[in-house]
Amino acid sequence: MSHQEAFLVGIISGTSKSLRPETFTAFLNADLIIHAGDIGSAQVLKQLGKIAPVHAVRGAKDKWAVNKLENTRVVKVADSSLFVIHDSIKIRSNKHQNGYSVVISGDKNKPSIKEEDDILYINPGTTKSGNGSDSVALLVVAGSAKNAEIISLDLLKRKRTQFSDRASGQSGSAYSTKTPKMHLPLS
């Protein structure tokens, strides 16, 4: 049995000019980061680049990036080809002919992971909803095997606050070292 190196990919969209501190926690061990658009500013890409190499596409709100970022991008990770686009409506027509194993979009502010026809579709949601559902996604790729999870930034923030309260002697619930996740069905 051969051992294949696993790669951790952080996936984000909808940052609107700044990053939540929980983003750094979620992406701490990422080998690379994919931003699926609505970045807000080049500064966001620079901040993410301090964590890991960044691949980004332009979103509907990224007028500043018209001459700097493409609308689509293909990223090769292990034996998988990741197709990145902001607008998910535009991917349906050519998904099979290009051999992508993962399609990442960022136009809907609702996180989702689904598998269809051996293609994993990931939308990380947004980090700026303000309604308690801010999220990013993590993708693990090992050879052609892949697995993705949605990470709730709001749960990470609550866990960090609970830990800080407990460390300072204030009452709070027990701290868990596990990264909080929002589990979504694959189908």
Note the pLDDT tens digit of each residue in 112-127: 999 988 889 999 999 9
> Which residues, in sequence order, are bridge partners of residue 10?
33, 138
Number of domains the chain contains: 1
Give the mean model confidence (pLDDT) for residues 93-119.
82
Q: Which amino acid is at 124?
A: P
Quick one: which of 136, 150, 183 has its CA closest to 24?
136
Residue 134 lies in a domain: yes
Residue 177 has pLDDT above 50, yes or no: no
Residue 187 lies in a domain: no
Q: Which segments within 29-185 are labelled E, that is strand?
A: 32-35, 54-56, 72-77, 80-85, 102-104, 112-116, 119-123, 135-142, 145-152, 181-182
Residue 133 lies in a domain: yes
Residue 159 lies in a domain: yes
Residue 97 lies in a domain: yes
| Res 185: pLDDT | 43
| Res 84: pLDDT | 94
Residue 38 lies in a domain: yes
Instruction: Provide the whole-model pTM.
Output: 0.82
Full domain range(s) for residue 139: 6-182
Q: What is the mean pLDDT of the chain?
A: 83
Does residue 130 or residue 139 have the better pLDDT? 139
| Res 69: pLDDT | 94
CATH for 152: 3.60.21.10
